[in-house]
Amino acid sequence: MITIEDIQKLSELSRIKIAPEEQETLRTQIESILGYIDQIKKATLVSDAVSQKPTVQAGALRNVLREDGEPHMPSEFTERVLASAPAREDNYLKVKKIM
């Protein structure tokens, strides 16, 4: 059980100023959290009850990306992209230097 003195000690250790009227609220909240953690600790896994190791099985692996049906030829669209750019130098886009 958490006491007000425990809350004050935690306050000192963490260098957090806690008003006296907030200490009781904080104490009940911490007790609630610790009670929940105790429930988790006491919970038994189904595999523990049967005394077997838990088995993990994800589904079969598969590629979720589509196959490339009709890939375009390299540099097929280069000239169209460069033509729409505001400035170009040879086969490159020309941009302002940003530093």
**CA angle, corner 75, sides to 73 and 80, nearest 5?**
115
Mean pLDDT of all residues belonging to the chain: 83
Kindly state whether residue 24 falls inside one of the protein's structural domains: yes
Kindly state whether residue 29 falls inside one of the protein's structural domains: yes
Kindly state whether residue 27 falls inside one of the protein's structural domains: yes
Kindly state whether residue 8 falls inside one of the protein's structural domains: yes
Mean pLDDT of 59-85: 80
Kindly state whether residue 94 falls inside one of the protein's structural domains: no
User: What three-state secondary structure class fits 61?
Assistant: coil
Residues 6+ apart with CB under 8 A from 29: none
Mean pLDDT of 91-97: 87
Kindly state whether residue 97 falls inside one of the protein's structural domains: no
Residues 6+ apart with CB under 8 A from 24: 4
Mind listing the pLDDT tens digit for each residue in 13-46? 999 999 989 999 999 999 999 999 988 888 766 5
Q: What is the CATH number of the domain that holds 9?
A: 1.10.20
The values of phi and psi at residue 37, to 5°, are -65, -40
Indicate the number of domains in the chain.
Answer: 1
Kindly state whether residue 10 falls inside one of the protein's structural domains: yes
Q: Which domain holds residue 41?
A: 4-48
